[in-house]
Chains A and B, each alone.
Chain A
Amino acid sequence: MNYQQMAIPPRSEHLWRYTPWPRIHPTVTDEVPKADEVIFSLEGGDAFEAVAPTDHSYDDIARAFLQAAGGSSSRLIINESSEPVHINARASGHVAVGHLELEIKGSAVVFIHISGEPEWVGLHITGTIHPNAQLSFGFINELDSNTKFLRCEDWMIERDAELEHATLSVGGFRCKSDLRSTLNGTGASIRQSVTVNAIGARHEDQHVEIHHLHGRTNSDLVMNSACAGSSHFIGTGLLTIAEGANKSDASQVFRNLLLSEKARAEAIPELEVLADDVSAAHGAASAPVDKNQMHYLMSRGLSPEESQAMIVNGFLLNAFSNLTNKFLIEEMRTRLTVHLECELKR
């Protein structure tokens, strides 16, 4: 079904409850504006393979819209890489859209840094991790603070393959992400972390779906957000374990730190378990900064502002604690620390 044939999804749908489609669409919902291209470049200047846009038929309105809007379309195949691969995604113009296809056949570490100042940016990443391959993937959103951002990802993780997936979202004004992963073979695993620093009037909606289709598959999701000002963060998770996917292990933890009275946060993990012999857990918590933590740090000479900044920094960094790849952890920690230091100086 193409975008123009689709009905606007109702707010009663879990995915569209907090950021309905008209709020994230770049103009009015029956329009598909002409999109400029998001330019993908590899650090060092190597070029991507430009590919024809996919003719896949999507059921989901966000993916169908990004397909209809066009923009750039690139593919990167990595057989094996000992050094991290940095991809810069640069958006410009009024409305910019990019499609990126990643195919991982060995072991690799890939970072995508998205930046730019368009009013609206759309990005669709599809990835396949082949059997026995490992990908450590970091996504860093550093878009302009006035940009609306729609991001969709679809990952297929094959037998005995591993995906470590980290998101650091500190850019954009209104952001909606819909990240879906399918564990498509026995022994497949994903460790995923999402870190969001919401300041001012930012609105950030992160939806993560992980589907266990086979037995002995593992998933671990940690989502931490710090919300200041009048920001609003929404974290929704959907974890499904298919019938027969026994011996699977899945967990989702959502934590929100509320830094002002006007800041809001929702944390809604959902489970659908159809197999009998599995381990599945989920938890969610939203709370202000702990007074005892503040007192402890202030008793060591840190001012109230420095104490809160250290607690927030630690809280956000802690979202990466379920990751294991040292390049991935180091890069995400560094990016977050630099961002928070810049914010403290503002």
Chain B
Amino acid sequence: MRVVAEEILRIENLHVTVEGTSILKGVNLTIHRGEIHAIMGRNGAGKSTLANVVMGHPAYVITEGSIFYRGQPLEELAVFERARAGMFLSFQYPAVIPGVQVGTFLKKAVTSVRDEAPKGRAFRKELTAAMEQLSMDKSFLSRYVNDGFSGGEKKRLEILQMLLLKPNLALLDETDSGLDIDALRIVAKGINEVAVDSACLIITHYQRLLDLVKPDYVHAMINGAIVQTGGPELALELEDRGYDWLDVTA
């Protein structure tokens, strides 16, 4: 008997505007636990909008359609409740929080999501292991969140958070941008670890991350809608042929 994995995210006919401009125009997407989906598309296609609207960014207005997380309508959940329910967004441009040390921030985030303060010794061990996996020096913990970080350091901190928060749904918005090949391998290792037991949506421009994190499904997004879905071979084809062949408006 085939066991159907739990449905984590279901997006139905999603239409979204930002400051009155229509960005998403009828997106449909379902992701189950254990699946890795990748969305590829040109700049401005609506990929990051999709990730941000799922996470509840207040700038985006849903004008039509629905999003369900583990069967529950998402509009019922505030941003922090989504995080506590197991949703995670790795930001393309993570915010800088001056004066807030990374160590303090991580402990607070873990406490909020797990609904209890982590035990000191066990947490230190867990944190050390995750940081070693990402080749992060302990001095990171005393730095201010993303303040003066290089692009690669910001992305590593995002993945570190993902490893500690152990989400059911991981949304990764251009996590590969700004990374050199060594850093990309390290980050990909972290994503693969989390992806085993969660649903994962990777937003990217390039094939290179998908060489290291094998997607089950690849979607091409054009002008605010998913126009083609396929397996990993679609990513190779998009890399090779670009998007014009899928763009009916071109």
Contacts and interface: CB of A to CB of B under 8 A. Distances in A.
A296 B99 contact: no
B169 to A, nearest CB: 12
Contact of B108 (A290, A292, A306, A315): A306
Contacts of A302: 80, 108-109, 112
Interface in A249-297: 290-293, 295-297
B97 A298 contact: no
State which size class the interface on B falls in. 20 to 34
A299 interface: yes
B161 A296 contact: no
A316 interface: yes
Interface residues of A, number: 25
A314 B58 CA distance: 23
A313 B99 contact: yes
A318 B100 CA distance: 8
B83 interface: yes
A298 B78 contact: yes
Contact of B55 (A290, A299, A311, A317): A299
Highest count of chain B CB atoms <10 Å: which of A290, A295, A307, A311: A295
A299 B83 contact: yes
A295 B99 contact: no
B79 interface: yes
Contacts of A296: 91, 94-95, 97
Given A301-B83, A302-B80, A318-B144, A310 B108 contact: yes
Contact of A300 (B56, B78, B96, B113): B113
Interface in B66-118: 78-80, 82-84, 88-89, 91, 94-100, 105, 108-109, 112-113
Given A314-B97, A315-B99, A318-B144, A295 B109 contact: no
Contacts of B9: none
B209 interface: no
A154 B183 CA distance: 53
Contacts of B57: 295
Contact of A301 (B84, B96, B97): B84
Contacts of B113: 300-301
Given A290-B95, A314-B97, A295 B79 contact: yes
Interface string A304-346: 1011001101111110010000000000000000000000000
A4 interface: no
Nearest to B113: A301
Contacts of B96: 293
A89 B100 CA distance: 31
A345 to B, nearest CB: 16
B99 A301 contact: no
Contacts of B88: 299
A146 interface: no
Contacts of B83: 298-301
A303 B108 CA distance: 11
A315 B98 CA distance: 6
B100 A310 contact: yes
Contacts of A298: 78-80, 83
B80 A293 contact: no
Given A295-B58, A299-B55, A318-B144, A310 B95 contact: no
A318 B99 CA distance: 5
B184 interface: no
Contacts of A304: 78, 80
B39 interface: no
A311 B97 contact: yes
Interface string B125-164: 0000000000000000000110000000000000001000
A314 B98 CA distance: 6
Nearest to B109: A300
Nearest to B79: A298
B162 to A, nearest CB: 10
Contact of A297 (B58, B84, B97): B97
B165 interface: yes
A295 B108 contact: no
A259 B89 CA distance: 27
A290 to B, nearest CB: 7
Contacts of B108: 300, 302, 306, 310
A310 B80 contact: no
Contacts of A315: 98-99
B95 A295 contact: yes
A301 B109 contact: yes
A304 B13 CA distance: 30
A306 B82 CA distance: 16
Contacts of A290: 95
A290 B56 CA distance: 16
Contacts of B95: 290, 292-293, 295-297
Interface in B17-68: 55-58
Q: Which 8 A-B pairs have the closest CB atoms?
A: A314-B99, A301-B112, A318-B99, A314-B100, A296-B95, A300-B109, A301-B83, A317-B99
25 contacts: A290-B95, A297-B105, A298-B78, A298-B79, A299-B56, A299-B80, A299-B82, A299-B83, A299-B89, A300-B108, A300-B109, A300-B113, A301-B83, A301-B109, A301-B112, A302-B80, A306-B108, A310-B105, A310-B108, A311-B100, A313-B99, A314-B144, A314-B145, A316-B99, A321-B99
Given A304-B78, A314-B97, 11 more contacts: A293-B97, A298-B80, A298-B83, A299-B56, A300-B105, A300-B165, A301-B109, A302-B80, A314-B145, A317-B99, A317-B100
